[in-house]
Amino acid sequence: MIHIDGVEYLKSDNDHVRSSVIDYLENWNITVSTSGTTGKPKTFKHDSKLMHKIAEYNAEAFGLSSNSTMMALYNPRGIGFSSMSLYPCAVANCDVFIETTVSDYPNRIREINPTHSLMLPNVWKTWHRHKAWKSLDLSGVQQLQVGSDVTPNGMMEDLRSKGAQQVNTAYGSTEVPPLIMSTEQQDIYHFNDINPMIDYKNINHEDGSIEFACKYKDQDEWWNSGDLIEYNSKGEFFFAGRQHNVFKMENCGDRVYPEQIEKVAIENGASLALCRKVSKQCVVYFTGDMNIKNFIKDHVCGYEVVPKKVDSIAIDDNLRKVKRNQIIAT
């Protein structure tokens, strides 16, 4: 059974979401758009044959059965809603609870008591310091997938401490629907973690950076992700940042990955963070009560980062990602 905000979907008065769910189920040839958080949104089409294969793989990877209950946020543009929740649940013939808002998220988890769930990092950032979240029991959750953005330090540990039996970070895209890969480590992957239906390669750029590229074996065109990877001594890799977000500091020549600086800001108490180059300075705008002294201590690099507190930072309504091209009022 499919529910929208706790109501059977065919009886839901949310006309937009109800009609979207019906369309998804009747026609697995889907058209989706990128989030537009880093530029103008782009539209992509995926045929039903590919979506069925992805749904079958994800249902098995998630361990879904007819007794499972999935909780997921509705995203009218994002591919994850269909490829990671609605379609795998249709394959497994299990219940899926579609939530259209995060305004009462902890209580909705308590009411639904899901066996499986998808969680966005900014949802956790919004709630994890609230009293309602601290007493949350996730012991009924067999698997929880975190994705769509960089995983904040402490998020996976927090979810596990509340009883979630398996917590993974997932990687995917609008162009190559998830799961491309999934791991129980925080944003650190091994090539064994990659979906066997995926072909992948590295693109070596002149500046020394390495870009990840992939496609499903059924797809004709490679997707150059724009995501830069770095390797550790174990041969594992992690995503350092987006290629078009990276900038260099003239005073030292260091390459700056804004997402990594934002991650440190969140770790030190910021609610939201946005790092960018302003004139010749590396600036991180933040909301909330960040411990600036600890932030500066934790940021060990050859360049200075200037923290600036602001009243608000806009996020995308669908994937809850920070809008990178926004104008910041200071």
Residues 100-111 pLDDT 10s: 988 888 999 999
Q: How far is CA 218 from CA 26, 78, 124, 215, in A?
A: 22, 21, 35, 8
Query: pTM score, two decimals?
Result: 0.81
What are 109-145's pLDDT values in tens digits?
999 999 999 998 888 888 888 888 999 999 999 999 9
Q: Is the residue at 124 inside a domain?
A: yes
CATH code where residue 303 lies: 3.30.300
Among 164, 195, 226, the domain boundary falls at 195
Q: Is the residue at 227 inside a domain?
A: no
Among 195, 225, 257, the domain boundary falls at 195
d(CA 167, CA 174): 22
- Does 150 lie in the same domain as 286? no
d(CA 246, CA 224): 16
CATH code where residue 75 lies: 3.40.50.12780
What are 86-96's pLDDT values in tens digits?
999 999 999 99
- Does 300 lie in the same domain as 175? no
The residues, any chain, with a CB within 8 Å of residue 71's CB and separated by 6 or more, are 96, 97, 99, 108, 109, 112, 114, 116, 117, 118
Share of residues in the chain with pLDDT > 70 (%): 94
Query: Do 288 and 270 form a contact (C-beta atoms < 8 A)?
Result: yes
Q: Is the residue at 105 inside a domain?
A: yes
- Does 185 lie in the same domain as 55? yes
- Does 144 lie in the same domain as 29? yes
Instruction: Give the pLDDT score at 111.
Output: 94
- Domain count of the chain? 2
Q: Containing domain of residue 257, as a range? A: 247-309
d(CA 64, CA 55): 11
Instruction: Give the pLDDT score at 208.
Output: 84
- Does 134 lie in the same domain as 65? yes
Q: Which residues pair with 238 in a beta bridge?
A: 188, 230
Stretch 60-67: mean pLDDT, rounded?
96
Instruction: Pick 101 or 320 by higher pLDDT.
Output: 101
Among 195, 224, 258, the domain boundary falls at 195
Query: Do 259 and 238 form a contact (C-beta atoms < 8 A)?
Result: no
Q: Is the residue at 207 inside a domain?
A: no
- Does 277 lie in the same domain as 163? no
Please provide the size of the chain in residues: 330
Q: Is the residue at 19 inside a domain?
A: yes
- Does 69 lie in the same domain as 7? yes
- Does 282 lie in the same domain as 139? no
d(CA 277, CA 256): 9
Residue 76 pLDDT grade (very low, low, confident, very high; cuts 50, 70, 90): low
The residues, any chain, with a CB within 8 Å of residue 105's CB and separated by 6 or more, are 99, 123, 126, 127
Q: Is the residue at 201 inside a domain?
A: no
Instruction: Give the pLDDT score at 237.
Output: 92
- Does 104 lie in the same domain as 9? yes
- Does 286 lie in the same domain as 152? no
- Does 19 lie in the same domain as 134? yes
- Does 252 lie in the same domain as 190? no
User: What phi-psi label fits residue 294: left (phi over 0), alpha (psi between -120 and 50 degrees) or beta?
Assistant: alpha
Q: Is the residue at 204 inside a domain?
A: no
Does 37 score more than 60 pLDDT? Answer: no
d(CA 70, CA 247): 40
Q: Is the residue at 237 inside a domain?
A: no
Residue 34 pLDDT grade (very low, low, confident, very high; cuts 50, 70, 90): low
